[in-house]
Structure 1
Amino acid sequence: MSGIDVIQARTLTGVAHGFLGRRGGVSQGLHDGLNVGLGSDDDRDAVEENRRRAAEAVLPGAPLVTCFQIHSAECATVAGVPAERPRADALVCDRPGLALGILTADCAPVLLADAEAGVIGAAHAGWKGAIGGVTDATIAAMEALGARRERIAAAIGPCIARASYEVDDGFRARFEEDDPVNERFFADARAGHAQFDLEAYVAHRLALGGVRRIEALGLDTYADETRFFSYRRATHRGEPDYGRQIAIIALR
């Protein structure tokens, strides 16, 4: 669809998908652009139109399914559009013509597909969900539908980059206590702080889960205001609300 920024990954070639930015929507003000966040303070009609445009840009005619995201490791399996959004942070399905969507505004969106089995997944990997195992849960749910983890291809879309993601030493300790190997995802910063590489950590978790083809797009939501929404950028500016972008995957 004209004006909408549909970013695609080589690992998912042949599968309908896209990581969408903020361009091409109808929202105004703080939410200017393609804000798809039902939980934002944006005009509801504008959000619904943006969601319609987003789905059309990836697979015309496909109904969009999203979840009520709770920063968890919960994954829901869907076979159609549910009456209510499932409280989860990942979705999987094996039904052609159904678009799965994950909303982000700095967290890492992950799209997954076993094209041979006809099984797809979408995961919202913020730091809580990532360390909690949201990608592991998504892979397991895909396998329950007939996928094989060694055939799954994955892509990590726009998220906050290490250069933009300062955390305190308590945050760093939580990851290093979970697994000493996680030290590699932190770079020293000012006293008592570090820079965290969320994208690299999510790629690491996917690899540990048995996924062999992983693409990280390396796009920083915080640094590119014209292209992406960012919760942390809005917070640093003292803004009262922020928009959300969407990542969508579907089987044709």
Structure 2
Amino acid sequence: MSVAALTHPLLATAAHGFLGRRGGVSTGDLAGLNVSYSEDDSALTSENRRRAVEAVLPGGILQTCYQIHSPDVVTVTQPWTDADRPKADALVTDRPGIVLGVLTADCAPILFHDAQAGIVGAAHAGWKGAFTGVSEATLTAMEALGARRENIAAVVGPCIAQKSYEVDTAFEARFLEQSPENERFFRAGRGGHAWFDLEGYAASRLRDAGIGKVGMLGQDTYAQEQRFYSYRRATHRAEPGYGRQISLIGLAARQ
């Protein structure tokens, strides 16, 4: 089975893909294209990462962060090794041949592109990162490289959908304290609980930040076991591991 990469027309002029678990060599509970070194045999993970990059930008150099659910962003000017990767949750670059990657397993991956300036970005937006402004920080970092906010397109990739994301009232209260308008991202559930729309919230933050175009893929990682890894699904089943998928974006080398 070949690697399956979802794409979006808003990012058509950049090499990009939102990948799932199809097309990899991992086995067992992690079967497929698991890209996390923390839960799998390193040789299998390395091969999966190689396949992922080749499916999106052949010959590209993959750069990822040590993700910590933060709003922190790094600008990639030259490649680093996995051992030296910085602690952050978003990356931006204007260097052709570098492939930015974020790992997710229910959190929202967001890919960015300013086609006019030739600048790309990738963000890992779990609820903590989205809440504390990882998307806005990514836009600021892109602007520092020469991007213009109104020219930036962003797409929210596969993540846990509202119908699958039950939270408690303390979680909801945190968002309502941030803004009463956030009520629209919650649907009432059983007593003391609600259902949270992470994808909608992440997209709204992007629109409010004033970027040119925002897209959403509308893919639920929790509900599609054969297609995506899911932390919450694995937790509900008491499985020992849950794997991660990767979302990638890069600029082709100039001819």
The reply to whether TM is greater than 0.5 is: yes
Q: 2:43 aligns with which of 38, 45, 59?
A: 45
- 5+ residue gaps in structure 2? none
Which residue is equivalent to 1:10?
9
Which residue is equivalent to 1:224?
224
Which residue is equivalent to 2:56?
58
Provide the rounded CA distance (Å) in 2 between the counterparts of 1:141 and 1:231: 29
Shift of 1:86: 1.1
Q: Aligned residues, how many?
A: 250
Paired letter, 2:232: R
Paired letter, 2:131: I
Matches within 5 A, 1:175-186: 175-186=175-186
Matches within 5 A, 1:141-180: 141-180=141-180
Identical-pair percentage: 61
Matches within 5 A, 1:69-218: 69-83=67-81, 84-218=84-218
TM-score (structure 1 length as normaliser)? 0.98
Provide the rounded CA distance (Å) in 2 between the counterparts of 1:242 and 1:85: 22
SS at match of 1:111: strand
SS at match of 1:214: strand
Shift of 1:151: 0.3
Provide the rounded CA distance (Å) in 2 between the counterparts of 1:148 and 1:38: 36
Runs of 4+ in 1 over 4 A off after TM superposition: none
Shift of 1:120: 0.4
Paired letter, 2:42: R
Shift of 1:10: 1.1
Provide the rounded CA distance (Å) in 1 between the counterparts of 2:6 and 2:78: 25
- CA shift digits 1:70-95 (9 cap, x unpaired): 00000000112114111000000000
Shift of 1:235: 0.2
Provide the rounded CA distance (Å) in 2 between the counterparts of 1:98 and 1:115: 16
Provide the rounded CA distance (Å) in 2 between the counterparts of 1:14 and 1:135: 21
TM-score (structure 2 length as normaliser)? 0.97
Shift of 1:210: 1.1
Shift of 1:14: 1.5
- 5+ residue gaps in structure 1? none
Shift of 1:3: 1.1
Shift of 1:212: 2.5
Structure 1 stretch displaced more, 140-149 or 30-39: 30-39
SS at match of 1:158: coil
Provide the rounded CA distance (Å) in 2 between the counterparts of 1:181 and 1:198: 14
Structure 1 stretch displaced more, 20-29 or 75-84: 75-84
Paired letter, 1:14: T
Provide the rounded CA distance (Å) in 1 between the counterparts of 2:225 and 2:242: 12
Paired letter, 1:42: D
Which residue is equivalent to 2:66?
68
Which residue is equivalent to 1:26?
25
- CA shift digits 1:101-144 (9 cap, x unpaired): 00000000000000110110000000000000000000000000
